[in-house]
Amino acid sequence: MATVILQGELARRFTGGQARLTLEVADYSALLAELAQRFPGLVEAIGVHTAVAIDGEIFHDPLHEPMAADSEVHFMPLIGGG
């Protein structure tokens, strides 16, 4: 089962404050589908200004990345700069 870690605002707005979720999924696209079903609006919010790290590696296009039974997925707000 993959463990999903949500940062502050995402957890507060979409999961009732639950920042750590455990989901049984085979890849990132299945993870998104499961999140969309359980937490309406979360996937759309993740797609905007959010970085994705799977097992410590940041991905720009993780759609087909496989998930291991012990994978950890972090959704983090992007840091703006200029």
Average pLDDT over residues 14-24: 95
CA 10 to chain centre: 10
How many angstroms separate the CA atoms of 19 and 31, rounded? Answer: 15
Q: Residue 77: which pLDDT band, with cuts at 50, 70 and 90? A: confident
- The first and second tokens of residue 75, run together, are 């959704």
Q: What is the pLDDT of residue 40?
A: 96
> How many Cβ atoms from other residues are within 10 Å of residue 59's Cβ?
13
Cβ atoms of 32 and 73 within 8 Å: the answer is no
Q: Kindly list the structural domains of the chain, giving each domain's residue range(s) and its CATH number in brackets, ordered by start.
A: 2-77 (3.10.20.30)
Report pTM: 0.86
**Length reported for the chain:** 82
Q: What is the pLDDT of residue 49?
A: 73
